[in-house]
Amino acid sequence: MNTSHIHTKIDQDDLEVYDDGDLTDLLGELRVLLPSSQLLSAFLITVPFMPGFNAIAYTEKWVFLATFLLAVTSLVLLSATAVQHRLIRPLIDRPRFKTFASRQILAGAVTLAIALISGTQLVLSTIFGHFVGSLAAALIATLIFTLWWWLPRRWKATEKL
């Protein structure tokens, strides 16, 4: 097994268990991410049909379009693994499928993160003005970046978890 891509100190037996192609961890992660994407997409689908939608600024309609497309893209990326798994069962190369699925899930998480940030900006700028909306979006972006990307990478680099 080629382990040159792994930079943490894992003994060989642990590595084989870690990278055995078991999809249970992916399913657990999808159970967290998918409902967020579904809820955001469902909410955004209803927005254009609200009475006040035509009154929002033209630029905010573009923000809405971007947010909606990002939310739907995240939904497609996050649900793709389940559909792919169903269509190609039984899996011949589980570790390879897991690697590909992990990349799709990360792409789905990125698009979901951007949709959450732009959605925050859209909602709060409509209610409180552009400054408050942008400030809140920046805070949410910082929170997502810190908890979803920076902290896990730091833990991995320092071998804390």
pLDDT at 13: 45
Output the pLDDT for position 91: 84
How far does the chain reach from its first CA to its final CA, in angstroms? 23
Sorted by where each begins, the domain ranges of the chain are 23-158
| C-beta of residue 124 within 8 angstroms of C-beta of residue 136 | yes
At residue 89, the pLDDT reads 84
Q: 1-53 pLDDT, tens per residue?
A: 454 454 444 444 444 445 556 778 888 888 889 999 999 999 999 999 999 89
Distance of CA 46 to the CA centre of its chain: 22
In this structure, the number of other CB atoms found within 10 A of the CB of residue 156 comes to 12
Residues 132-153: tens digit of each pLDDT: 999 999 999 999 999 999 999 9
- 5-18 in b/e form (b: 16+ CB < 10 A) is eeeeeeeeeeeeee
* Whole-prediction pTM: 0.82
- Section 92-114 average pLDDT: 94
As a whole number, the mean pLDDT across the chain is 87
